[in-house]
């Protein structure tokens, strides 16, 4: 299994395309042991690469260090709600679950008190790895938050 773990917040308020070019121009690389290589991009994104040749799979796991403990008064459940919302699609990936299933992916998300996590495991190929990384980047930046989706998912999250 080849697995990539991307952690951090790549785009926040005021993020612009010009920042993307400048911030991701350099990366620091280091070895963490046990075959894990860490890359830290200038925008704060941390990527851990862990090759495992024993399995013909690739897993992309994105962890954002925001969870329920970051919610203010009256915001209970918002981190979990947002986790659900980014599965609703983007202009480039209008049906994320269908796109994942089309490639035979196992996928899900989870929210805890201190992080929100998204992952997909697919057959190992450069194309599937690129697909998964691009999909995660796309939905972290381009997921529209529509009122009708909020209403539906709010009921799911509350139950």
Enzyme catalytic residues: 83
The span from the CA of 55 to the CA of 46, in Å, is 24
Token readout for 6 is: 């991307």
Token readout for 123 is: 């057959």
Contact status, residue 52 vs residue 3, Cβ threshold 8 Å = yes
DSSP class per residue in the chain: -EEEEEES----TT--HHHHHHHTS-EEEEEEETTEEEEEETTS-EEEEEE-TTSSEEEEEEEES--GGG--TT-TTHHHHHHHHTTS--SS-S-HHHHHHHTT-EEEEEE-SS-EEEEEEEES-HHHHHHHHHHHHHHHHH----HHHHHHHHHHHH-
């Amino acid at each position: 299994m080849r697995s990539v773990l991307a952690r951090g917040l790549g785009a926040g308020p005021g993020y612009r395309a010009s920042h993307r070019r400048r911030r991701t121009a350099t990366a620091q690389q280091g070895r963490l042991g046990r075959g894990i290589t860490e890359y830290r991009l200038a925008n704060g994104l941390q990527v851990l690469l862990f090759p495992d040749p024993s399995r013909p799979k690739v897993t992309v796991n994105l962890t954002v260090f925001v969870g329920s403990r970051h919610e203010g008064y009256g915001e209970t459940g918002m981190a979990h709600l947002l986790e659900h919302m980014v599965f609703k699609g983007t202009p480039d990936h209008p049906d994320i679950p269908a796109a994942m299933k089309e490639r035979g992916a196992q996928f899900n998300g989870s929210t805890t008190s201190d992080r929100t996590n998204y992952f997909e495991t697919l057959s190992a190929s450069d194309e599937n790895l690129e697909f998964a990384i691009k999909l995660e980047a796309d939905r972290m930046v381009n997921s529209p938050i529509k009122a009708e989706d909020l209403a539906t998912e709010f009921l799911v999250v509350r139950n």
